Chains A and B, each alone.
Chain A
């Protein structure tokens, strides 16, 4: 199983809603990532969890709250989002997430989020 599975595939929410994005991998990877991708742009790193601990937070607003319940699961809790937060949210995983420069990322298909 070399897949990263994300749910839901599409999400529409209002600015007062609370919702969660979910990500799962069963490759035994110890690092998991959230990226945000706007149309026609490269992915931008938001958070990294390494061995279930938050290791990188790229100054993301607190209306985005990540959670890593175990080594296979990663959630992104959303609250009071703004229309400019509409984007494709990608989850990724890698084997170790440490300093091995040749380590590759495995991406999920993403959640297309629209904030109204």
Chain B
């Protein structure tokens, strides 16, 4: 079945460090790909998305590129801030929002 695999956390970085969170997927068709973020005590919110191969999603300094050849959608940010501390979920959708498939989540902590 369709699935998403994220790098295991937790990930701890210092402020201004470069961030990569790996995400790979398995899907029978051509999914849309998403990164959702969950800040402490809150629900999830969409960070960015890409709907076809080679698309780049970007928001708040975060970027991810849809790589069909490697079935990947890695999340990157050039200089992280303390306020980026959260749990990040990679997700795919092949059948609409009703069938969103989440990865296990990666907890990110940024130290000042």
List residues of chain A with CB under 8 Å of any chain B CB. Answer: 4, 6, 31, 33, 40-43, 45, 48, 50, 55-56, 90, 92, 94, 96-110
Contact = CB atoms under 8 A, between A and B. Distances in A.
15 contacts: A4-B43, A33-B98, A41-B104, A42-B104, A45-B98, A48-B98, A55-B98, A96-B96, A97-B98, A98-B98, A100-B96, A102-B51, A102-B93, A103-B96, A107-B44
Contact of B46 (A96, A100, A105): A105
Contacts of B97: 31, 33, 94, 96-97, 100, 103-105
Interface of B: 31-32, 34, 36, 41-46, 49, 51, 89, 93-98, 100, 102-105, 107
Given A102-B32, A102-B51, A109 B43 contact: yes
Given A104-B46, A105-B44, A107-B44, 17 more contacts: A6-B43, A31-B98, A40-B107, A42-B103, A42-B104, A45-B98, A45-B100, A50-B98, A56-B98, A90-B43, A92-B43, A101-B31, A101-B93, A101-B94, A102-B49, A103-B93, A103-B97
A101 B44 contact: no
Contacts of B46: 104-106
